[in-house]
Amino acid sequence: MNSHSDRQLLMSMFRAAVAAADPMRIVPPHLPARPRGRTLVIGAGKASAQMARAVELSWKEPVEGLVVTRYGHKVPTDRVEIVEAAHPVPDQAGLDAAARMLRLVQGLSPDDLVLCLISGGGSSLLPLPVAGLTLSDKQQVNRALLRSGASISEMNCVRKHLSAIKGGRLGVACAPARVVTLLISDVPGDDPSVIASGPTVPDPTTCADALAILRKYSIAEPAAALEHLRRGNDETPKPGDPRLAGAEAILIGAPQASLEAAATVAQAAGVTALILSDAIEGEARDVALVHAAIARQIASHGQPARAPCVLLSGGETTVTVRGKGRGGRNAEFLLALTIALDEHPRVHAIACDTDGIDGTEDNAGAIAGPDSLARAAALGLRAKDFLADNDGYTFFSRLGDLVVTGPTLTNVNDFRAILIR
């Protein structure tokens, strides 16, 4: 195959991964039985608006409710209100929506059903601080965590313990109604208590855990947040809490299913697919070095599989920001991979976020091949300089190799495919 065909195959695999997590496909089979009383739909996340639309199209019975999604992710709905708010740093719109959501679930009966639609991004979209903290405090902590290189589970542990709605508190507020949560996972391990900081499920972590994470990354401000964690007198509901005994959480979309969908596309094209992991974490550039080494082993020695072969992986890498560039963890991964492969003639790769937004930029990710470094050099671009400045976005933009999809209305996190011919 030529370079163009290889790029087309990589794009086809990415599209299949996204399609496997499409709420319109995966929500309807998991809807619960209709209740005797009201059905209240709530939720938060990058996929939550499309999840609400899927509910409305599948259920003709009366439903009402409120769902919060990221700016640009709103879709038309008739009965469930969609509010847009900021991600990854929260804003006033998210705070107001979270407060309204808590009020909506008050006064329900055992005959009522709360259908909670949760997906990645929901943590930033429900930024209701505990008493004594402000939105500004939450924003400051979020920014510090995003720059620190903390994992998503670490960030969400901290967020839960500074929140009046996350870490099971929303679920407690719904009692005594029946609560069914449909989850699209964007976190390594698919732990319901980590996805969007688990607003309707018990939280096994503690204030002490959250404080230790802030200390680990030398985050000492704002003082009010650290003092709240030090006091530790406002814990989240724990496993076994009777107020959450009847709550049900159903995982309907996950990275593994999307990787398997991509593998099916590869195999149909006569390419062996190796799924390395659906839960890879770590610094994006370090993860890239490992992927590059495996690709070289296949190309040189036919191990652990013979070419043609594609390496597939998911999870969520992190970037410790040291430069001032326009990054994105997938662009950073791909730039580091491209440098490590050093124009290897038989390797193409793609790295994208399945939500269509790599970090805070307007691209899903990027695509690269054996000629990427040579084309960059012809433009006077030194790849290592861009990596040092955390500026993968600009590097691939100058090459015309950004992958731009717009919001996909779902989110199962990073998608990486490395094709070895």
**Residue pLDDT, tens place only, 73-86:** 999 999 999 999 99
pLDDT of residue 1: 52
pTM: 0.91
**Tokens coding 109:** 């009966």
**Residues contacting residue 337 through CB under 8 Å, at least 6 positions apart:** 288, 291, 292, 349, 351, 368, 418
How many of the other CB atoms lie within 10 Å of CB of 15?
A: 15
Rounded to whole angstroms, what are the CA distances from 319 to 50, 261, 292? 29, 27, 18
Q: How confident is the model at residue 259 (pLDDT cuts 50, 70, 90)?
A: very high
Query: Which stretch of DSSP H or E encloses residue 67?
Result: strand 64-70
In angstroms, rounded to a whole number, what is the distance separating the alpha carbons of residues 198 and 201? 5
Q: What is the pLDDT of residues 186-202, one digit of tens each?
A: 988 899 999 999 999 99
Query: Which stretch of DSSP H or E encloses residue 402?
Result: strand 402-403
Contact predicate 314/258, CB 8 Å: yes
Residues β-bridged to residue 272: 309
Half-sphere CA count of 132, side-chain side, radius 13 A? 13
**AA letter at 61:** E
Average pLDDT of the chain is 94
pLDDT of residue 59: 87
Residues constituting the chain: 421
pLDDT of residue 327: 79
pLDDT of residue 246: 83
Query: Which stretch of DSSP H or E encloses residue 181?
Result: strand 178-184
pLDDT of residue 211: 95
Please say if the pLDDT value at position 3 is more than 80.
no
**Secondary structure class of 28 (helix, strand, coil):** helix
pLDDT of residue 374: 97
Please say if the pLDDT value at position 110 is more than 80.
yes
